[in-house]
Chain A
Amino acid sequence: MREFLSGNEAAARGAWEAGVEVAAAYPGTPSTEILETLAGLPGVYAEWSTNEKVALEAAFGASLTGRRAITAMKHVGLNVASDSLMTLGLVGAKAGLVIAVSDDIGFSSSQNEQDSRFWGRFVHLPVLEPADAAEAYAMARDAFSISERHQVPVLLRLTTRVSHVKRTLATAGREAPDASRHGYARDAERWIITPNHVGKRLELRAQRDAALAQESAASRWNVLHHGAERQVGFVVSGAAYHVVREAFPRASVLRLGFSHPLPLALARELAAGVEHVMVVEESEPLVETELNAAGVAVQGRKWLPAHGEITAPALERGVARLLGKPEHIEPQVPQKVFPRPPTLCAGCPYMGVYFWLGQLSDAVICGDIGCYSLGCGEPWNAMDSIIAMGASLGVAHGMAKSFAGNGAAKPVLAVIGDSTFLHSGMPALANIACQRANVTVLLLDNRVAAMTGGQDTPRLDFAQLVAALGVRPERVRKVDPYELPAFFKVLREEIKAPEPSVIIAERPCVLSRDFVRRRALAVLEEKCNGCARCLDVGCPAITVTRRSREARASGRVVERAWVRIASALCTGCDVCAKACARGAILPS
């Protein structure tokens, strides 16, 4: 059947057709739709695991029992999974095990740009790099048999332009899972990676590397296309393949689909037939470095963008510079238009939290990854650092310990969401508790992983959980972030308490099914004095209609702003009404 699918949907479809039985993932842009798609297909156990390491281990466990399994994550997720991944590189896999990882090239929604192909080298795994949805589909299908043939997990490396571009492809039916593979028998030498077993596994890994190199050299995914144009030939992988075809349709191209181990013979053959070889790869000059080290003279990074996506115009400019030809000039942007940074949604429970945090002028606030990262922006500016998933607590701990004993110490806070806390915040909270670090933790429980589209998070009693991790029950407080005065009282008390404390701010995400919309609010013009305190809430439903400046008798100039509430956006959460000192905001 012909379908129009994104790369993520296509990879899921290919895995399903290959008879995948278990899928475990943690959401993250641009990888999220892989598991979402698999969850909607029959015959697959699919779960959102608590983090990527757990997801990888779950998929590996399924592979041990003879079931084909897949795990999916974004590039930084593989960092979290990497401890187990390194061992899987040694022990391998039994039934087909595929690790789909999507790199956020251009870091539209991530803390960095990272090249997951390195893991193939580091862990000795085969790497498949689809150029588009059709290949994502076909490679996902193939990946399971490659995995079984070599008893090794296969890395299916996607990028934003593969994951999030829809193309047509022909799908087929599902291959029935092979029941003869099912079953488990203990094999201590294989699966217990104690030092006495490592030596043998390293030898086997070297043999596997050699076998994989042979397979890659002959793979249908590595194709050398001889073009009529012989001045510049290209070595390319991933979505950049289509960019090369678009910009240089007559050139010779080595298309790397099974990109690790590198098919060196094909690269040599390409180089022999052209004057220059240009490697077109996004993120890191990895293949370029390896080919040069192998004695194949190639160029690339020097002429191409150092980060972000490589587009056809960028490639044309790079080649023009390489050949010393004049560059094409891009059309100019007519006028610089204001930015539209992402905002919290109207009614977002985090607004109540940041309304107060924005007013703590002397506190250090360590942030984390999620919608609440937006607290670093206007109008709150309520954040000192954002590092990685779960890092708020560890960083806050270190700062609090460094401040300890200093009379003028600033209060230290950490802000973390429920999903992120379960992902990787718990070990750090246990550390804070047992080392008695004076950190006030704001645990924002909105019941979902909101930023990635509202995936469910485990429903559990966070008060009991944090108490069990060692926070004294008196210092575990539950608050409703909509109740501004009550929330502030608790915040003040817990900042003052000279010991670890956790404030659990509970309210469902406005985009979740648990959210209840109330009657929209409106501004009572005659009561409003233009003090603009409601704007400190940061609600996108509140916009300024007019401004004025007033000189007081004292000579002080006061800025005033009058506002309107967009009734279509307003959820009636009442946070702005509670922030208003004049009682000028009421249900409409």
Chain B
Amino acid sequence: MTLDVLVVGIGGQGVLTAAEAIARAALEAGYDATKTEVTGMSQRGGVVCSQVRFGERVAASEIRPGAARLLIAFEAAEGLRWSHYLAPDGCVLLDPWRAVPPIVSSGMHRYPEDPAAELKTAGMKILEIAARATAERLGDARLANSVMLGAAAPSLPFPEDALRDEVLRRFGRGELASRNAAAFDAGRALVCQYVEGDIQDRN
């Protein structure tokens, strides 16, 4: 039995770095893990998707459509693009931030009106995580990656701080580490509020 996590976004958003952190945290927690990379043309502003699988023993590295327990989408339309990979009991963490490419702004294609609403209509469990907006509020859009991982942490079967330690490990002890720590914690707080709100709604 494996746990499959799909991390998606566009070139330059740190999708591969985020996937790597999850895979390494899984290894640290004693699981076997695989992670796929994407390179070449897709990096030039194109679609980027990295697949992480972990469990006692992982065979194929590719996630089956309909099998991902967690879909982490760094961009709204990308969340929609990959949503058929989600398992019926899976969850989407979706940044509602929109990256509108020239192919859309030039009028050749249409950006989906409300990707989050479409996912909900399709019956998917979705948590909107404003990672990009939070990162900008923290002073650097590049922190979105850490915000999103913070939001993902409670959904992963690792000890509380395993993913956080893995994310921060690559930044040493300097200012970058403390900013990413703040971003990670902000992400975790976002998702906790969400879950509490969700419970209140149900009550």
Q: Assess whether A460 is interfacial by the CB under 8 Å rule.
A: no
Q: Assess whether A29 is interfacial by the CB under 8 Å rule.
A: yes
Q: Assess whether B62 is interfacial by the CB under 8 Å rule.
A: yes
What is the minimal beta-carbon distance from B84 to any residue of chain A, in angstroms? 5
Instruction: Find out whether the CB atom of B62 lies under 8 angstroms from the CB atom of A309.
Output: yes
Interface residues on A, range: 35 or more
CA distance A168 to B20 in the complex (A): 12
Stretch at the interface among B105-113, B148-156, B157-165, B174-182: B105-113
Stretch at the interface among A41-49, A88-96, A339-347, A579-587: A339-347
Instruction: Find out whether the CB atom of B84 lies under 8 angstroms from the CB atom of A333.
Output: yes
| Per-position 1/0 for A308-344, Cβ under 8 A of B | 0101110000000000000000111111011111111
Instruction: Find out whether the CB atom of B109 lies under 8 angstroms from the CB atom of A338.
Output: yes
B11-59 residues at the A interface, CB under 8 angstroms: 11, 20, 23-24, 27, 32-47, 58-59
| In the complex, residue of chain B having the shortest beta-carbon distance to the beta carbon of A164 | B37
Instruction: Find out whether the CB atom of A242 lies under 8 angstroms from the CB atom of B61.
Output: yes
Instruction: Find out whether the CB atom of B102 lies under 8 angstroms from the CB atom of A337.
Output: no
CA distance A379 to B102 in the complex (A): 9
B118 cross-chain contacts in A, Cβ below 8 A? 334-335
Q: Assess whether A237 is interfacial by the CB under 8 Å rule.
A: no
What is the minimal beta-carbon distance from A238 to any residue of chain B, in angstroms? 12
User: Given contacts A168-B27, A544-B105, is CB(A337)–CB(B81) below 8 Å?
Assistant: yes
What is the minimal beta-carbon distance from A36 to any residue of chain B, in angstroms? 11
Instruction: Find out whether the CB atom of A335 lies under 8 angstroms from the CB atom of B39.
Output: no
Instruction: Find out whether the CB atom of A166 lies under 8 angstroms from the CB atom of B37.
Output: yes
Q: Assess whether B80 is interfacial by the CB under 8 Å rule.
A: yes
Q: Assess whether B141 is interfacial by the CB under 8 Å rule.
A: yes
CA distance A59 to B32 in the complex (A): 36
| In the complex, residue of chain A having the shortest beta-carbon distance to the beta carbon of B77 | A337
B111 cross-chain contacts in A, Cβ below 8 A? 338
Instruction: Find out whether the CB atom of B27 lies under 8 angstroms from the CB atom of A311.
Output: no
Q: Assess whether A371 is interfacial by the CB under 8 Å rule.
A: yes
Q: Assess whether B66 is interfacial by the CB under 8 Å rule.
A: yes
Q: Assess whether B168 is interfacial by the CB under 8 Å rule.
A: no
Q: Assess whether A165 is interfacial by the CB under 8 Å rule.
A: yes
B41 CB contact (under 8 Å) in A311, A451, A535, A568: A451
Q: Assess whether B60 is interfacial by the CB under 8 Å rule.
A: yes
Q: Assess whether B100 is interfacial by the CB under 8 Å rule.
A: yes
| Per-position 1/0 for A409-428, Cβ under 8 A of B | 00000000000000000000
B103 cross-chain contacts in A, Cβ below 8 A? 338-341, 378
CA distance A254 to B40 in the complex (A): 33
What is the minimal beta-carbon distance from A515 to any residue of chain B, in angstroms? 16
Q: Which residues of B contact A (CB under 8 A)?
A: 10-11, 20, 23-24, 27, 32-47, 58-62, 64-66, 77-78, 80-81, 83-85, 100-112, 118-119, 122, 141
Query: Apart from A335-B118, A540-B102, what 4 extra A-B contacts exist at CB < 8 Å?
Result: A109-B41, A334-B84, A340-B45, A343-B44
A–B pairs, 30, beta carbons within 8 Å: A4-B23, A4-B24, A4-B35, A30-B39, A108-B40, A161-B36, A164-B39, A165-B36, A166-B35, A166-B36, A167-B33, A242-B60, A243-B59, A246-B60, A334-B84, A337-B112, A338-B77, A338-B109, A338-B110, A340-B103, A342-B11, A342-B44, A343-B44, A343-B46, A343-B102, A378-B103, A453-B39, A540-B101, A544-B105, A547-B107
